[in-house]
Chains A and B, each alone.
Chain A
Amino acid sequence: MTISAAEAPPGGFGEIDEFIEGFERFGYVADPALATAIYLLIRLPKPLLIEGHAGVGKTEVAKVLASFLGTELIRLQCYEGLDAHSALYEWNYQKQLLAIKVREKSDKPIEELERHIFGNDFLLTRPLLRSILCESSSPVLLIDEVDRADEAFEAFLLEILSEFQVTIPELGTIKAKRIPHVILTSNSTRELSDALKRRCLYHWIEYPTLEKEIQIVRVRLPKFDCELSSRAVRFVQLVRGMNLSKPPGIAETLDLSQALVLLKKNQLDPGTAEQILGCILKSAEDLAQIRREGVKNLLSRITP
């Protein structure tokens, strides 16, 4: 195999930079690695699997991408027991039953009846089918927390991920008119199958560095006092490094900052921090551990 220039005209890195800028306009700070992955997701085209700890902004990528491209976001939330009929399509049974009853007395052949009740009028589209049927522009399809679904469902996804098509026994194979931009997210609570991973690009989102996290808070809460926001971020980063069972993510940093804004606080003193500790700690043991360390103690460890 050779790459011909005709098949893939070299897109400038300018386009990747455009993603970085565009994402920032919608309140998301993307690093070049993520921007490259998204660029490839659109150009190759290939689904993108994003993994990372809870609350680092995996789902947000899809939302912002949809806003940035100005297309529809179709979201499929995965859960244990999710099956093809909740994800792809379902027949409208009540309507089918009525249709059968109405035609009971007619002497038309049964084949025609079958064709009728398995027609498009009786089809309820679910997220996956909707993303395939989209006519106007490529939608962003978000398959959220795919690690929560069963292994069987994962296998079911393979067709749509590699061929961008779905098969419905009664109707046949439907190919996507506009290839959807597929983003899968996983908290890596379990290992995904090799078959699924091979069909995807991969991106791992790490907890952000101090500078990046401060930047994120500034982009999201532009009116928030600079000094206070950097102090809040330092505090969360310190807590995050403490071996907790549920370390706070970026979502928690933003909650904490938001709380400071709402409470009209202009400094993060031990009393305030104690009050809003619930924004960043979500388990009793973690709270107890932080209280043992002493909030005041922790705050004094933050270099001003």
Chain B
Amino acid sequence: MNTLPTPPRPHGTGEQAPILPDFQRLRSVVEFCRFARDNGLDSGLKAVIDSVRAVGIVDHERLDAFRHALRATLCTSKEEWDLFDQLFDAFWYGARMDRLRKPISPSGGTTPNASNSQRIQLMLGHPASRESQATEEKRNAISGASTIDRLSKVDFSEVPQDDLAELELLSERLLRRMSFRLSRRRKLSHVRARIDLRRTIRAGAAHGGEFIDLRYKDRRSQAPRLVILLDVSDSMNPYSLFLFRFAYALGTHFHRVSCFLFSTRLVDVTETLKASDLAKALRALSGITTFWAGGTKIGSSLQEFNRRFGPRMGSTNTCVLILSDGWDTGEPDALVAELKTLKQRSKKLIWLNPLLGLARYEPVTRGMRAALPYIDVFAPAHNLQSLLELEKSLKSKTTR
């Protein structure tokens, strides 16, 4: 790296001193850390202290050392590593940045277009986020068995306006219960197999060397991994809202769930699923999805997934769940090639198609027909009941 011609000039001070006095220097480094944090570098207080110390022990006059020292202490990932140079130049040299994020301003970021904001409004209009009393009444009112039965069978695209709120509550409750059962089943499968010498001896010493209680080793239960790929293109419009709820419910109980939305490209929403309640998750979602509705390119979305996240899946215990109607504007060949790769990397490939709920539906779209040979479970996802049925498929995965 070349030594830069001008000395660093911190924001706010007009001085041009090449070596800053200690306090000034400290101050400007801290200011830089704050600036970096506001613009996407996830640096905590510890990192700030370390960076100040690091700057203190490298030579003040070497600007590249100064830059490298800050980078080594403040970055924690490849993404941050790549972002750092831009931030550094923007702060110390006033360079322009391509994607400078405004520090916590409500109007910042991309403005969603009209149909986006409409959808998001719809999502945020979730009854759980309204006054709690009204919600409570609804919750109590829902107990009738016949209502549950009727609502869980109604197609998501045909829910009457009056029932929408009830169905949302019901789905939240039932889905939560289902994913809890799934996670519990995993914990209870214990087999006593091998004696743990270490702990047996430890216990034996207390009895003067008699091995009265034997201690056993368990096979460590492996947390299954679940990857959800959710189609949010135009044709999925009536369903994607409910399916996202479904993904959220699974996310709360499966230890390792990754979730992606796709239409013509792919967006990682795994972090969003970790929000503490659904309303928060939906609100966070509104910040990242700028491409709700639109065409579908399943093949190229899957390709993007395979390229970027495929190697991270770890082949042994992953279940891939694709939620899509199979309407694809891309080439079927591309879809098949990517499904094949996906299949090799996963233990089970499940495709849920809301259209399967229609009485006369046959998977005749070119893409869907080509995809069928690679799919382990092909099931409907048009109503609540069909989603709950999925428990069986997920269960067999965990016990095998």
Contact = CB atoms under 8 A, between A and B. Distances in A.
A39 B58 contact: yes
A10 B57 contact: yes
Interface residues on A, range: 35 or more
Interface stretch (B76-84, B126-134, B160-168, B386-394): B76-84
Nearest to B75: A202
B208 interface: yes
A113 B71 contact: no
Given A13-B59, A189-B311, A36 B72 contact: yes
B56 A201 contact: no
Interface stretch (A97-105, A126-134, A216-224, A257-265): A97-105
Interface stretch (B45-53, B94-102, B246-254): B45-53
A100 B209 contact: yes
Contact of A194 (B56, B62, B76, B201): B76
Interface stretch (A1-9, A59-67, A225-233, A287-295): A1-9
A113 B208 contact: yes
A11 B208 contact: no
Interface string B28-44: 00000000000000101
Nearest to B62: A13
B220 interface: yes
Most buried by A among B58, B61, B206, B314: B58
B205 interface: yes
A304 interface: no
Determine chain A's interface SS by DSSP, over half rule.
mixed
Interface residues on B, range: 35 or more
Interface in B76-120: 76-78, 80-82
A144 interface: no
Contacts of B69: 36, 40
A32 B22 CA distance: 25
Contacts of A40: 54, 57-58, 69, 72-73
B312 interface: yes
B198 interface: yes
A100 B205 contact: yes
A81 B316 CA distance: 13
B358 interface: no
Given A32-B1, A202-B76, A93 B49 contact: no
B204 interface: yes
A2 B206 CA distance: 53
A201 B65 contact: no
Interface string A62-95: 0000000000000000000100010000110100
B209 A10 contact: no
A188 B53 contact: no
Given A117-B205, A190-B312, A3 B60 contact: no
Determine chain B's interface SS by DSSP, over half rule.
helix
Contacts of B312: 188-191
A33 B1 contact: yes
Contacts of B361: none
Given A16-B65, A202-B72, A91 B59 contact: no
A159 interface: no
A203 interface: yes
B209 A104 contact: yes
A30 B299 CA distance: 41
Interface in B183-235: 197-198, 201-202, 204-206, 208-209, 220
A37 interface: yes
B314 A190 contact: yes
Nearest to B46: A198
A202 B81 contact: yes
B158 interface: no
Given A8-B53, A93-B197, A201 B78 contact: no
A282 interface: no
Interface stretch (A43-51, A176-184, A248-256, A273-281): A43-51
Contacts of A96: 201
A12 interface: yes
Nearest to B52: A3
Contacts of A11: 57-59
Given A93-B201, A97-B201, A100-B209, A13 B53 contact: no
B76 A1 contact: no
Contact of B56 (A8, A12, A51): A8
Given A8-B56, A11-B58, A188-B78, A32 B72 contact: no
26 contacts: A1-B26, A1-B52, A2-B22, A3-B53, A7-B56, A8-B57, A11-B59, A13-B62, A13-B65, A16-B59, A16-B62, A33-B64, A33-B68, A33-B72, A40-B69, A44-B57, A81-B220, A85-B198, A100-B204, A104-B208, A114-B206, A118-B205, A150-B220, A198-B47, A202-B71, A204-B75
Given A8-B57, A10-B60, A36-B68, 11 more contacts: A1-B26, A10-B56, A13-B61, A14-B59, A32-B1, A36-B58, A40-B72, A43-B57, A110-B208, A203-B72, A204-B78
Task: Please list the 9 inter-chain residue pairs (A to B) with the smallest Cβ-Cβ separation, ordered nearest first.
Answer: A36-B68, A100-B209, A13-B59, A3-B56, A197-B76, A204-B81, A13-B62, A37-B72, A201-B72
